[in-house]
Amino acid sequence: MWSERLRSTRDERAAGVIRYMLGLVFISAGAMKLFVPMLADAWSGQLLAAELPFYTLTRWSVPIVEILIGVMLTAGYFVRLASLVVIGMMVVATYVHMVVDDPGLFPLQPSEPIIPLIVIGMAGYTLWRGGGARSFDLKAWGRT
């Protein structure tokens, strides 16, 4: 069954730690884009400067999706699916870093796409290995 393969994982500590770190990063990033005015303005400026489509929808939906994905990762629930979403989001973030020339729009990170590329690597690991130790996926499907 597809859900069994999607959720299969081993009791691997490294995967669990990486998954948990990704989850915290995404919960924090989404919450800051919604609730910290300086970062919300920077996020808005990035979207406008990169000329991404559907500005209003993206402005509000991406932070909410980031929080939801962060919760899924932190809990270890459908980690591979969440990792695919993370990789997609970070590909777009890499594009934004490449086309936006204003370093003031990246207040807590370098304007080069260093962080998105690191996150892609981490999400790739969890996509490959699954949720790892202390994940709901491990509890649901056991060791494979």
Question: pLDDT tens digits, residue range 52-106?
Answer: 999 999 999 999 999 999 999 999 999 999 999 999 999 999 999 999 999 999 9
Taking the whole predicted model, whether its pTM rises above 0.85 is answered as yes
Number of domains in the chain: 1
3-state helix, strand, coil in the chain (%, to 5): 75, 0, 20
Q: Residue 14: which domain range? A: 2-141
